[in-house]
Structure 1
């Protein structure tokens, strides 16, 4: 009995896993956790943190200690008396050295500032990548929903066609309609069956594409939740495009990254200019010696033979083959280059937001036009069906009317999900995080 319960629970777990349907939020969150590019960007942040740790470490004093033991045979200098001796003796020595940079042209200070900016820039790049991947996932997800919606349209209309086949058979058998009408409806059914197979293949392919984007390898059991996704507009599309552009400049990573690159270039220039200034260092050293050839006790020798050295070291750069000057000039050029890149990033963002705004407005008009066309084709189809049912029109004309209605349905679906996606792109530029977009 116990084994039966365990097997039942295992089978239930497998069945539940197979039946799981992923929501859009789950897909986005899973992608953000598992995407390889995101993981690489997270490593960039860790590298930037190491750079920051190294820069802070430059403010700490250097500290080293050393010790040595040796045995001499033959003529050697006694390390405690500095006299030559032809004996075998064991000697030992030890030292401690401390150094500290008092002034280095503020380069260490600016390296810390640069490391902080570099960490922020890495975080901004990660944020941008997350936004981009979230949009890729959303687009792939909506493509699956669109394909499923189209399949529903085709299956629904094919059910009507099958009903018409049965109805037409009765009318042909009764001599009301010619045999050709039945053949026409059956040909329509065959064409619709082919379209259904193609639609099912499109769903399968789009699901595999989404699974690959998420790095999910269980293609057979992967499916999405295709209910409850509709047009949700929080009013951003009604805002002036200038307001959306200003908001994008404040929140979008493209501009923030370019601004951070300018700051990094300016810090690099300051660090390079610091090499023209003197460097002042302080040092302290302690050393002592011992040998067994001296009858004095070990502790006494350590005390008698020790020495201390301390002082300051000043290094003034005078000429190094124009290396420092050339490095400063290169960094000045890089500063100007990053400023141009910032200006270009702002122009590109403005152009992109304008395009997204126009696309959203245009896709809304396309969706409204598609709904209007669908309504007209639905009325035309209903009228054609009534005429066909009473024998006032032939099967070919009825099939053509039905085909136009099917195409109008599919176009309405396409326009709907195209508008949803472009609306979400616009909201993303307005500063709404990808994980908080509403569908």
Structure 2
């Protein structure tokens, strides 16, 4: 009875108390939707796109005029005494001093100034085109972030799925080991075996319980990792979809054939090349003149204080003016020439980088396809291996129940089946992840039903 109680305790620990709450199934589509809506990296990438969108707008183009308004006010107050030394009145008396107290003067002004660059050597035109290309590049960079995040998402999602299936396999193995204890105890009571068989079964139950507990812990950690990617409550309970389907070979070949047109790294190199081309044209604009227009509309009011000789005056003025200017920097010390030469060199470098990216992408696709096909073949082999070991285990169980093989031989058949099942789970998700990595290289990761 003591042996039975010990075994029951192990079973409760492995299956009961440490089995976390089951939640609803989190499908792959739901996981993608949550990641696209909540993931921090994706949010930052989308904000970068918004900044690039603002930069490419007409308000940042230089095509609009600048309008400034100015206003001013001045106030002066003078207290003065004017003396007339040696001057006499008509009656011959000395001319008295004249005091001016609180002689106030005020000046008010306001103006509206308009400046517009009519022509700047086409610099702003090409800069505007450059900003458009920069916006498209930022969209591609955001797409790359999304693709990398989805790969990270499915790497964790498939790890949760693998550990879920391993947990089920280990639970089944533990239940079989528990049944062995019961059988060994009854056989011992009837004198059909020794206590050694019971002890062996206990050891196997202990090992199976520990393996199950460790897998449960790994599963809980993996679920928290997935919740971090989805940016939601770390304690959110859920299950995952363990069904895996693979893309047909013909469809995959079509996607690979179009990879150069869709790969995000190749597209980014093309946009960068276009930006460098506009840089050359922007720098060349320094060779041409700049033509500008100006306009002014203003109002002035002067209120002068009376003096000893003149009365005070009020002078109000309205003015309107138009002007045009032409500036041509005929020689700037060679700065424009250096900038044009450097931008051309940068363009040549970008062309080389584009060719390098194409070559690397072609290599990466070939490697990824080779890895995918190899892992897919391994998965097919592991599937057959599970069937073989399942048949071997069933026959071993029959022979064990008939007493024709030992518990050690039966345990070895059980371990072989357990290893085959966990290896198949690993091979299945490795193959699917390799397929997703191949899809990313073809530029179709966001367009395929998973």
Structure-1-length-normalised TM-score: 0.84
Distance 2:322 2:134 in 1: 37
The match for 1:248 is: 259
SS of the residue aligned with 1:92? strand
Alignment pair present for 1:422 and 2:434: yes
Alignment pair present for 1:353 and 2:365: yes
The match for 2:193 is: 177
Q: CA deviation at 1:342?
A: 1.7
Task: Flag the 1:224–1:390 CA change in 2: closer, same or farther, 3 A.
Answer: same
Distance 2:118 2:25 in 1: 63
Alignment pair present for 1:368 and 2:380: yes
Unaligned segments of structure 2, at least 5 residues:
1-20, 80-99, 306-310
Task: Flag the 1:43–1:257 CA change in 2: closer, same or farther, 3 A.
Answer: same
Distance 1:296 1:47 in 2: 58
Alignment pair present for 1:312 and 2:324: yes
More helix by share: 1
* Per-residue CA distance 1:205-237 (angstroms, 9 max, x = gap): 111211222233432xx233334x3232342x3
Q: CA deviation at 1:425?
A: 3.1
Q: How does 1:281-360 map to 2 (within 5 A)?
A: 281-293=292-304, 301-302=315-316, 305-360=317-372
**Which residue of the other structure, out of 239, 260, 273, is the alignment partner of 1:225?**
239
Distance 1:323 1:38 in 2: 41
The match for 1:82 is: none
Alignment pair present for 1:390 and 2:402: yes
Alignment pair present for 1:125 and 2:141: yes
* Per-residue CA distance 1:2-56 (angstroms, 9 max, x = gap): xxxxxxxxxxxxxxx9945432222222222222222222221222123223665
Distance 1:367 1:55 in 2: 57
- The size of the alignment, in residue pairs, is 403
Distance 2:323 2:265 in 1: 51
Distance 1:101 1:50 in 2: 22
Distance 2:22 2:379 in 1: 35
The match for 1:48 is: 52
SS of the residue aligned with 1:112? helix
Q: CA deviation at 1:418?
A: 1.6
Q: Is the 8 A contact 2:115 2:294 kept in 1?
A: yes
Task: Flag the 1:18–1:435 CA change in 2: closer, same or farther, 3 A.
Answer: farther
Task: Flag the 1:117–1:55 CA change in 2: closer, same or farther, 3 A.
Answer: farther
SS of the residue aligned with 1:230? coil
Task: Flag the 1:20–1:367 CA change in 2: closer, same or farther, 3 A.
Answer: closer
SS of the residue aligned with 2:294? strand
Q: CA deviation at 1:113?
A: 0.8
Q: CA deviation at 1:58?
A: 1.3
* Per-residue CA distance 1:328-364 (angstroms, 9 max, x = gap): 2222222122222222222222122212211221111
Q: CA deviation at 1:97?
A: 2.0
The match for 2:161 is: 145
Q: Which has the larger radius of gyration?
A: 2
